[in-house]
Amino acid sequence: MADLQACSEFLQKGKANEVKEIVQQALDEGMNIKEILEEGLMSGMNIIGVKFKNNEIFIPEVLIAARAMNAGAALLKPFMKDAGVEPKGTAVIGTVKGDLHDIGKNLVAMMMEGKGFKIVDLGTDITAQKYIEAAIEHDADIICCSALLTTTMNEMGNVVKAATEAGIRDKVKIMVGGAPVTQSFCDTIGADYYTPDATSAAETALTICA
């Protein structure tokens, strides 16, 4: 019988081939999709999140674990809808206009994916208007803005304004983060949540959509 605990451990070590093998075996045995996803994949990514937050592991380990998670999740994807596995929520994510830094943004996206979110990754250099259009198109619960430059972080305020102008401010929460961003900046621009790292961002997103 497919060993989901072993799958979770292989995921944490970034062993994508082994993860795929166990997920395929579990599928062949007719195991419950939700069980494979939660016990084989998400449990491993949760442990990675905690270790990253505690500085026990670093960016490369997170990236290879996320790659293994994606490899396993890709096998499950075609069956998710039929199995009634709904995403925990939908988040539109991007790095703000004028800013090309995307490593932190990608980590946030991966951690949120690991928690079961549908992620619409817009990339970098994203205008306020683009965030809003995507949030409307995908009926997003959360808009996630990342900024690494003191010269671009103010663009986050424009995203909040644009959401208000588009009449979606009560439907979508706005989360902000990135090295120069602080709680007091978040409060000043009227965003909903500031989190200092990718793991807390994913945890906060889960609380928002609980």
Q: Could you give the residue ranges of the DSSP H alpha helices within 115-179?
A: 128-137, 155-165
Please give the Cα distance from 58 to 137 (Å, whole number). Answer: 35
Locate 13 and state its tokens: 């070590």
Q: Other C-beta atoms within 10 Å of 159: how many?
A: 26
Closest approach of ligand B1M to the CB of residue 104, in Å? 2
From candidates 103, 139, 164, 171, binder to ligand B1M by CB under 6 A? 103
Stretch that binds ligand B1M, among 11-19, 43-51, 130-138, 146-154 (CB under 6 A): 146-154
Joined tokens for residue 118: 């549908």
Q: Which is nearer to ligand B1M, 33 or 108 (CB)?
A: 108
Shortest separation between residue 94's beta carbon and ligand B1M, angstroms: 9
The DSSP line for 23-54 is HHHHHHTT--HHHIIIIIIIHHHHHHHHHHHT
Residue 74 touches ligand B1M, criterion: CB under 6 A = no
Give the per-residue contact string, 104-143, with ligand B1M (x = CB under 6 A; - = no).
xx-xx-----------------------------------
| β-pairing verdict for 142-146 and 193-194 | unpaired
163-192 footprint of ligand B1M as x/- string (CB under 6 A): ------------xxxxxx------------
Residue in 133, 181, 138, 189 with CA at minimum distance from that of residue 160: 189
Half-sphere exposure of 3 (CA within 13 A, CB side): 6
**Closer by beta carbon to ligand B1M, 18 or else 199:** 199
**43/204 with CB nearer ligand B1M:** 204
Number of Cα atoms under 13 Å in the Cβ half of residue 116: 20
Work out which of 101, 118, 138, 161 binds ligand B1M, going by CB under 6 A: 101
Number of residues that bind ligand B1M (CB under 6 A): 28
Which positions lie near ligand B1M, rule CB under 6 A?
59, 98-105, 107-108, 144-146, 148-151, 175-180, 195, 197-198, 201
